[in-house]
Amino acid sequence: MLTIAALNELGADTQSGLSRCLNNEAFYLRMVNLAVQDDGFERLRAALERGDLDEGFERAYALKGVLGNVSLTNLFTPVSEITEALRARTQMDYAPLLEQIFSELEKLRALVD
């Protein structure tokens, strides 16, 4: 179940996330829910799989903004990292970073399901 305690356990900075939501827990959790359901993650992966770094950057950048706002630090950190690599259009193997992102994402999605 999606709770503050569960999020904390996964490394989310729920305190800042909550304060951004005027400490309205229900609202905050709804935002977290929306964030983890975002199909941007899948689109990011698809873009990278076909080598479209431009699209990849746009996706990563958008996700980064959202994740920062809901303070899902565990996801935010690898997404930030991939955003910066993509901003420079670095030619590299993005699979390990993607894997890290999806592994964190699955944990969060498990809370939601």
Partner 1 sequence: MLKNHAKFNSINGRRLVLIVDDEQINREMLGYIVSSDFDALYARDGEEALRLMRENVNFLSLVLLDLLMPGVDGFAVMREMKADEALSHLPIIVLTSEHTAEVECLRLGASDFILKPFSQPEVIIARMQRIIELHEDRYIIQSTEREDMTGLFNREFFFRYAEQYDRFHPDQEMDAVALDVNRFHLINEMFGRAAGDNVLIHLATYLKELRERTGCMVSRVEGDRFFVYVPHGGMDYTELAQQVNRHLGSLRDISVRVRCGVYRNADKGVEIERRFDRALQAANTIKDNYAQLVAYYDASIHERKIYEDRLISEMYEALANGQFEVYFQPKYNVEGELPALSSAEALVRWHHPTLGMVSPGVFIPLFEKNGMIQKLDYYIWARVADQLGDWRRRYGREVRVSVNVSRIDLYNQNLIEYLDGILTENGIDPGQIYLEITESAYTENPEQIGEMVERLRDRGFKIEMDDFGTGYSSLNMLADVPVDVLKMDMRFVRNLHSNEKQETLVKLVMDIAKYLSLTVVAEGVEDKGQADFLKSVGCSVIQGYYFSRPLPGTDFIRLVTGATQ
Q: How many of the other CB atoms lie within 10 Å of CB of 99?
A: 12
Q: Which of 69, 81, 84, 102 binds partner 1 (CB under 8 A)?
A: 69
Chain centroid, CA 111 distance in Å: 15
**Distance separating the N- and C-terminal Cα atoms of the chain:** 7
Closest by CA position to 64, among listed 52, 49, 75: 75
Return the residues of window 6-35 that contact partner 1 according to CB under 8 A: 16, 19-22, 24, 27, 31, 34-35
Q: Is 70 an interacting residue with respect to partner 1 (CB under 8 A)?
A: yes
Nearer to partner 1, 8 or 96 (CB): 8
Residue of 52, 65, 103, 112 interacting with partner 1 (CB under 8 A) = 65
Our CB check for partner 1 shows the closer of 61 and 94 to be 61
* Separation of alpha carbons 105 and 101, rounded Å: 6
Shortest separation between residue 76's beta carbon and partner 1, angstroms: 8
**What is the spatial distance between Cα 29 and Cα 42, in angstroms, rounded to a whole number?**
21
Q: Using CB under 8 A as the criterion, which residues of the chain lie in contact with partner 1 when the complex forms?
A: 16, 19-22, 24, 27, 31, 34-35, 38, 58, 61-62, 64-66, 68-71
